[in-house]
Amino acid sequence: MIIHLRPNVSEQEAHRFAAMTTSAIFHDGERFVLVTPSKLQEIPAEIEPSAEAHWAMDSDIQLASRSYSAPTRTVQLGQQAIGGETNNTMVIAGPCSVESEEQIRQSAELMKELGIHGLRGGCYKPRTSPYSFQGLGREGLQLLAKMREEYGFVIVSEVRDATHVDDVIAFADVIQIGAKSMYDHGILKACAKTDKAVLIKRGFGTTLQEFAQAAEFVLSGGNPNVMLCERGIRTFETKTRFTLDLCGVAWLKEHINLPIILDPSHALGYRYGIEDLSKACVAMGIDGLLVEVHPDPSVAKSDAAQQLYHDQFRHLLKAIKPVAEAVGRHIV
């Protein structure tokens, strides 16, 4: 159950109610909000006089549910916003990993040329092998911050584990929580304590319920700026890297009030179909598209097979614009 306490309820009283009901508690700028376990269906008599409104919920997807708050939440990303009334589809693009100043500057130049606002680049890479490139770490974050200063991008970079989450929060504008890290409560809780935007990627074995509940950790800690990213789940199919779950996206659109970003690059795992998939994603009326692009994918230190050449990305961008228009969306 979600309970909005009256604005005049003191902090001490609000915390007493929270302890009584084993609730998460946060202040939303106007009032304290309690989120009890969803099995509580009746508001306790002692709390009722102090409550302004309450919602009995049918699962622990609570704050993210459209049955609590129907409109898609607005998330501000630099000068642009997504969700809410915007009808914006924000393109976030860049290399899988930040590899050098020269490489990320080439990416930045391309994004500037194409009017893209979101620049991505991983610095802490969650690799499947310990012998693969693990990312430049803090040095990479500093390069991204430099690109932001020079070009004004919104910087998206990922957290691999809780040891460096504070660094990523300090340097990036959007904290990406990777598919392999979305169960890490140290990361989720640290992201709840900032007001920076958080992009949670769906684990490849994660149900939609678990996915939305990961967002609940951030939302119930007081950070409303959460976006969900579908990036492919594991199925029996081995010809593609993963399977982009567009049925899951339809479910999220229907039930969840968070902006949805789609990542065709990690789903397919190969460059050849990224443009087609991007068109399909945009046609679903999503809030953002995440695409990996590299100045020379043949020498990329991670995800080489799926990153687009610059010309392919230019072509992709042209191809998705009419699709966006057809479904009443603007590419930003």
Which residue lies nearer to Mn ion by CB, 184 or 303?
Answer: 303
Q: Is the dihedral of CA 229, 235, 237, 238 positive or negative?
A: positive
Q: By C-beta, is 1 or 110 nearer to ligand PEP?
A: 110
Query: Rounded to the nearest whole angstrom, what is the least distance from the CB of residue 33 to Mn ion in the complex?
Result: 36
Q: Locate tokens 């202040």: which residue?
A: 27
Residues that bind Mn ion (CB under 5 A): 96, 303
Where does the chain show beta strands of DSSP type E?
2-5, 24-27, 32-35, 51-55, 75-77, 80-82, 88-94, 118-120, 154-159, 174-177, 197-201, 226-230, 260-262, 288-292, 330-331
Task: Give the nearest residue (CB) to ligand PEP.
Answer: 178
Give the number of other CB atoms < 10 A from CB of residue 76. 15
**Least distance in Å: CB of 292 to Mn ion?**
6
Work out what residue 201 binds among ligand PEP, Mn ion, none; the CB cut-off runs from 5 to 8 Å by kind.
Answer: ligand PEP
The residue number whose beta carbon is nearest to Mn ion equals: 96
Give Cβ neighbours of residue 150 (< 8 Å, ≥ 6 apart): 108
Q: Which does 82 bind (CB under 5 to 8 A by kind): ligand PEP, Mn ion, none?
A: none
Cβ nearer to ligand PEP, comparing 18 with 261: 261
Q: Min. distance of Cβ 266 from Mn ion in angstroms?
A: 6
- How many Cβ atoms are within 10 Å of 31's Cβ, its own excluded? 19
Would you count residue 294 as binding ligand PEP (CB under 6 A)? Answer: no
Instruction: Compute the half-sphere exposure of residue 104: CA atoms within 13 Å on the CB side of its CA.
Output: 28
Cβ neighbours around 171 below 10 Å, total: 19
Q: For residue 275, give the nearest of 311, 307, 313, 229 by alpha carbon.
A: 313
* Residue nearer to ligand PEP on the CB measure, 1 or 289: 289
Binding-site partner at residue 221 among Mn ion, ligand PEP, none, CB < 5 to 8 Å by type: none
At residue 91, φ and ψ (nearest 5 deg) are -90, 130
CA distances from 147 to 120, 199, 215, 311, 313 (A): 11, 20, 29, 21, 20
Per CB under 6 A, which region of 8-16, 86-94, 174-182, 244-252 contacts ligand PEP? 174-182
- Using rule CB under 6 A, residue 164 touches ligand PEP: no
CB 305 within 8 A of CB 276: no
Q: Which is nearer to ligand PEP, 58 or 296 (CB)?
A: 296
| Least distance in angstroms from the C-beta of 209 to ligand PEP | 19
> Contacting ligand PEP (CB under 6 A), which of 231, 241, 271, 310?
231
If the CB atoms of residues 55 and 183 are measured against ligand PEP, the closer one turns out to be 183
Nearest approach, Cβ of residue 208 and Mn ion (Å)? 22
Rg of the chain over CA atoms, in angstroms?
Answer: 20
Considering the complex, state which of residue 192 and residue 229 has its C-beta at the smaller distance from ligand PEP.
229
Which of 118, 135, 140, 178 binds ligand PEP (CB under 6 A)? It is: 178
96 makes contact with ligand PEP (CB under 6 A): yes
Helix%, strand%, coil% for the chain, nearest 5: 35, 20, 45
Which residue, 122 or 297, is less far from ligand PEP as judged by CB? 122
> Pairing between strand 197-201 and 226-230?
parallel
Which of ligand PEP, Mn ion, none is residue 231 near (CB under 5 to 8 Å by kind)?
A: ligand PEP
Task: Determine the Cα–Cα distance for residues 134 and 140; give it in Å rounded to an integer.
Answer: 11
Binding region for ligand PEP (CB under 6 A): 96, 122, 126, 158, 178-180, 201, 231, 266
